[in-house]
Structure 1
Amino acid sequence: MEFVYPPVIAACKTLFRALDMRLDLRGTEHVPTSGGAVFACTHVSYLDFIFCGLAGLPAGRRTRFMAKKQVFDNRISGPLMRGMRHIPVDRSAGQGAYQHAVTALRSGELVGVFPEATISQSFTVKSLKTGAVRMATEANVPIVPVTVWGSQRLWTKGHPKNLTQRHLPILIRVGESFQPTPEDDLEAQTADLHTRLSALLDGAQRDYPDSPKPGEDPFWLPAHLGGTAPAPEPITA
């Protein structure tokens, strides 16, 4: 029995309705209805774990996200994060969080990770860490690519948060899962994940129904779409 996660989900949905947020969630048929899986999510805002977590709900799944330890140390967010059984990551001792995640996957949980490690300020997919593929391989579970677009308009790195915007479109896209294997090259599989996430994000950007208003700073658009976001960092292997 879980006492924290359900009311948090209900509170988020109530807020979405109050703001008349336009949530567009597609691809949930790719979420496994049972067994462990890695949710590998793009990262454009501080709120992405909320929207990525919505992708598991139609399949009756709750996602346990890996998040930096400081969030768990906060007196307000900490009890909520622990109550929802999310996984703290101490970057000075990351192996413990990794093993925690692998154990959760083997026990049948969905584990959410942000393989870019930090928010992409260019709003394109950054170079990925190999952890998502490594833990999926070790736990023998699939990876499910997930992308969110529009959340950066609420709260992203380098810009003040604006959490009361009404009628804001948020697009969530879930891609086909794939099963990494120990026989396959780790870097090649991580590059494959990057390709899948980039395709999902490109599709969400094409589908997005809003554009900057006249005189508005298009900070939330990547440079290749005419925005003022910084140019992407070079992709490294």
Structure 2
Amino acid sequence: MSTLYRFGSSLFLAGFRALRVDLRVTGHEHIPATGPVVLASNHISYLDFAFVMLAPPAPRREVRFLARNDFFRNPVTGFLLRRLGQIPVDVHGDALQSAAAAQAVLEDGEVVGLHPEGTISPSFVPRRGKSGVVRLADSVGAPIVPVALWGSQRLLTKGRPARPTRGAVVVVRYGEAFRPTARTTMLRTQEVMQRIGAELERAQTSYPQRPGPPPEDWWQPAHLGGSAPTPEEAEAAIRAQNEARRRAREAKGAVGAEDARRTEGGAA
């Protein structure tokens, strides 16, 4: 393990210890010891990538996660992500560059981690997976290890105040490595999400802590009796948020174009 990776990992571990996180890992032996591997996990917290990376016991393989380039612009998270060698993804631009970077990591026989859903699920129920996970694995013939996380949403998640729950149990389950066999990319992607979902159900069933009464049960999915939004409500909120961002980008572009015209007019 590289010195920079070890340094970045130690910072995350120190933070988790300060929060008294009770990390419980199952199935780490399913991660192949050598060769290219894709770790595909559900996404319920901004810290998911760190738990997937740090959960396997030593000797630990380095994991390069695909992360939104927004996080690289933040001085703190950007510093940590660069030290850990993570791969920036421009979600509003050309994704080919990040895909090529991830493929290069796999071609070197290393491990790439990603969230097929593409963004945090506000309902804490897996969203529809994107085909990039299958295309990436197929590009080098790498096996996929389905990963389920549960409890990490109690530390830091979308739409909630940054007030981590101290003493929270975080469960990380690694399923058996496999290669999807369905005929189409869409069906192979569904196969990956089904495997992740199966591991997630096991993680939820074995989770030792129970939520309190509303509103303390915000982190529990609606279908399990909690007050988290339903998948339908969550998708509606995501669509509204994406539309607001699109309009903001268009407005910013229009202002920039107008400023450019004024500058050209003044120069003339």
| TM-score, L = length of structure 2 | 0.81
- 1:30 counterpart residue number: 30
Matched, 1:81 2:81: yes
Mark the runs of 5 or more structure 1 residues left unpaired by the alignment. Answer: none
- Name the structure, 1 or 2, with higher relative contact order (CA <8 Å, separation 6+): 1
Query: Residue 52 in 1 paired to residue 52 in 2?
Result: yes
For residues 61 and 226 of structure 1, the distance between their equivalents in structure 2, rounded to whole angstroms, comes to 38
Q: SS where residue 4 of structure 1 aligns?
A: helix
- Specify the alignment match of 2:249 in structure 1: none
Deviation at 1:154, TM superposition (A): 1.1
Deviations 1:55-109 (A, max 9, x none): 3444520110000112122223223222221111112110111111111111011
The residue aligned with 2:100 is 99
User: How many Å separate the matches in 1 of 2:221 and 2:156?
Assistant: 16
3-state SS of paired residue (1:161) = coil
Residue 215 of structure 1 deviates from its aligned partner by 5.3
Corresponding residue pairs, total:
233
Q: Report the counterpart of residue 196 of structure 1 in structure 2.
A: 195
User: Greater share of helix residues, 1 or 2?
Assistant: 2
Task: Give the TM-score of the pair, scaled to structure 1.
Answer: 0.91
* Stretches of structure 2 lacking an aligned partner (at least 5 in a row): 236-268
Moved more, 12-21 or 28-37: 12-21
Counting only pairs closer than 5 Å after superposition, residues 81-230 of structure 1 correspond to structure 2 as 81-91=81-91, 92-163=93-164, 165-180=165-180, 184-214=183-213, 216-230=215-229
RMSD (Å) for aligned C-alpha atoms: 1.9
User: 1:167, 1:188 → 2: CA distance?
Assistant: 39
CA distance in 2, matches of 1:67, 1:189: 23
Moved more, 151-160 or 128-137: 151-160
- Measure the CA separation in 2 of the matches of 1:124 and 1:53: 22
| Displacement after TM superposition at 1:119 (Å) | 0.4
The whole-number CA distance in structure 2 between the counterparts of 1:233 and 1:221 is 16
Q: Which structure has the greater CA radius of gyration?
A: 2
Q: Percent identity?
A: 42
CA distance in 2, matches of 1:10, 1:83: 11
Q: What displacement does 1:141 show?
A: 0.5
Match of 1:40 in 2: 40
SS in 2 for 1:76: helix
